[in-house]
């Protein structure tokens, strides 16, 4: 029996097949105990411990497969969801793959404001987002701010938006664009291409999305909770400390917890033990503040996994 014949009995979960999100998605699946073996020649992998089929797709295609197909869950960028314009449920932000969709122009060129590009040629892989952005700019320039949205959308666009699937940053140097609209992480690639950012259209990161008509709803909820737990485990540490009961109100302002701290009495009547989840990036500062407020025996533990 071939692999495709198993799909009807499994929850379909789409993940990027390559690119900037791929490895972090694989690590996330591992943390959620979703085990699979993927053949080099197949973009479908059956999980070995759960009735799930992983479908490896281009990130740009995932919103369509989740929104219009039989795929119940997917991981992609917020930019791809916005570009596709397809109705899906954004379950949670995964906290990785952050970057910006920016308007980039030649560093030594004449353009310093995106309004100067009205009527010019723009190359991008995000034609819908770029079109919406420049349509708004054109409306503002023609005193159309606040005009009927349908009327504005029916007007022909003066600015030319061209689609290029890859190497967008080379478009200006190769003479097919006055500017580009593309995703930027560190900006190193754009600087190497002689480009600079003059506007940010969209800030994005990886998100878990779900179909509005999913199959295997119980299993979907299980996987969502596991993924949220992995994300929380990477974001938080567990901070334990003792403090006088008289100072409890002041220390709890420092460690309110993700939802609420756990407070336990000690054998000494005027002391309590507190356990609270604290953002990992803030823990050094939090420990200093707790010590200054009179807390003692401050201990920090890593969280390997959790359910939140």
Tell me if 243 sits within 8 A of 295, measured CB to CB: yes
**The predicted structure's pLDDT at residue 1:** 47
> Which segments of the chain belong to CATH 3.40.190.10?
3-97+206-215, 99-204
pLDDT tens digit sequence for 139-169 = 988 865 555 555 556 678 899 999 998 889 9
What homologous superfamily is domain 99-204 in, according to CATH? Periplasmic binding protein-like II (3.40.190.10)
As assigned by CATH, the class of the 236-302 domain is alpha beta
Q: Which helix (H) or strand (E) holds 204?
A: strand 195-204
- DSSP letters, 234-298, are HHEEEEEEEEEGGGHHHHHTT---SS--EEEE-SSTTEEEEEEEEEGGGHHHHHHHHHHTT-EEE
> Which mean pLDDT values do the consecutive 10-residue runs of the chain (308 residues) have?
69 92 93 89 90 95 96 97 96 94 94 95 96 94 61 76 92 95 91 94 96 95 96 96 96 95 93 97 97 97 93
Tell me if 59 sits within 8 A of 19, measured CB to CB: yes
As assigned by CATH, the class of the 3-97+206-215 domain is alpha beta
Query: SS3 for 89?
Result: strand
Query: SS3 for 185?
Result: coil
**The predicted structure's pLDDT at residue 144:** 57
Tell me if 125 sits within 8 A of 169, measured CB to CB: no
> Which segments of the chain belong to CATH 3.30.70.120?
236-302
pLDDT tens digit sequence for 173-212 = 999 999 999 999 888 989 999 999 999 999 999 999 999 9
């Amino acid at each position: 029996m071939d692999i495709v014949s198993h799909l009807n009995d499994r929850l379909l979960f789409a993940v990027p097949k390559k690119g900037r999100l791929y490895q972090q998605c694989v690590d996330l699946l591992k943390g959620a105990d979703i085990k699979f073996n993927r053949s080099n020649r197949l973009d479908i992998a059956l999980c070995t411990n759960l009735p799930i089929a992983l479908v490896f797709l281009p990130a740009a295609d995932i919103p369509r497969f989740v929104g219009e197909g039989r795929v119940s869950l997917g991981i992609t960028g917020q930019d791809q969801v916005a570009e596709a314009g397809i109705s899906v449920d954004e379950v949670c932000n995964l906290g990785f793959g952050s970057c910006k969709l920016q308007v980039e122009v030649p560093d030594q060129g004449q353009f310093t404001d995106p309004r100067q590009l009205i009527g010019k040629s723009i190359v991008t892989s995000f034609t819908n987002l770029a079109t919406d952005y420049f349509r708004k700019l054109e409306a503002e320039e023609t005193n159309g701010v606040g005009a009927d949205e349908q009327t504005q959308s029916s007007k022909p666009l003066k600015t030319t938006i061209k689609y290029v699937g890859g190497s967008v940053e080379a478009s200006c140097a190769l003479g097919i664009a006055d500017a580009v609209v593309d995703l930027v992480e560190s900006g190193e690639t754009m600087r190497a291409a002689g480009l600079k950012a003059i506007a940010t259209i969209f800030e994005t990161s990886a998100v878990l999305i779900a179909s509005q008509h999913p199959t295997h709803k119980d299993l979907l909820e299980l996987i969502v909770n596991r993924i949220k737990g992995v994300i929380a485990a990477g974001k938080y540490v567990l901070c334990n400390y003792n403090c006088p009961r008289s100072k409890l109100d002041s220390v709890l302002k420092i460690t309110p917890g993700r939802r609420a701290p756990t407070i336990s009495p000690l054998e000494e009547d005027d002391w309590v033990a507190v356990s609270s989840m604290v953002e990992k990036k803030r823990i050094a500062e939090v420990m200093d503040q707790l010590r200054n407020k009179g807390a003692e025996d401050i201990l920090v533990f890593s969280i390997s996994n959790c359910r939140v």
